[in-house]
A and B are shown apart, each in its own frame.
Chain A
C-alpha cells in the first residue's frame, strides 16, 4: 500500500524550532518529487516547500530562509526543518507526493494524514 506518515508535530514557543518527518512506503521514494503543504484551522491549503528527485528545493516567500526541506532516500524519508517559528505557522502539516503520468508531473496524488504544529507561548 502506498502510504505517507508524518510525525514530529507538537507545541513550540515563538522563535523555536521543530523538525517534521514523513515516512514513505509502498513506492520507490527516490523517483518522486515531494512537497509539504499546510492548513491552518478553518483555512485553505498553503504550499510550504518542495524537493525534486535531485535534491533541488523550492519555497514560497512566507517560509524562505526559515524552513528547510530535505530527503533521505535510503530511509524513504522526507523532512521539514522549521526555524524561527511564528504564531502564523500554526497548522496541520501534510507531506504529499507529486505524481507523474507519461506526459509529465500532474498533481499531488498521495498525501499523509498530517501532523499538527502549534506555535504558542
Chain B
C-alpha cells in the first residue's frame, strides 16, 4: 500500500483481556518496528523485525507482550492479560532497507485498558 496501515485505530479492552494489534507495512519494506507512546511521552522502541526475523525485542516491557511477522510482511503485536499501564498509542514503522531510508510511521492504535 501507499503507507503503513494499522488496525484497529482504537481499542478498548477490559483489564485481563488479550488484544492483538495489526500492522501492514509499505509493500516491500524489509524492516518493521513497533513503538509504544504513553500520554505526554515520546514513542519508545519495543521491537524490530528484519523480514520475518525478530532481531531485537529488548524494548518489550514484559513477557505479556509478544510480536510476530511470520511471512515478513504483516506484523501483529499481541498483549496478554492487559493492564491499565498498557494504555498507550502503539505505533508501527517500516523502512525500505535495514536502516532509516524511507522510515515511515503508521497512524497508530490507541489502546485504552479499563
A and B pair up: no
Interface residues of A (CB under 8 A from B): none
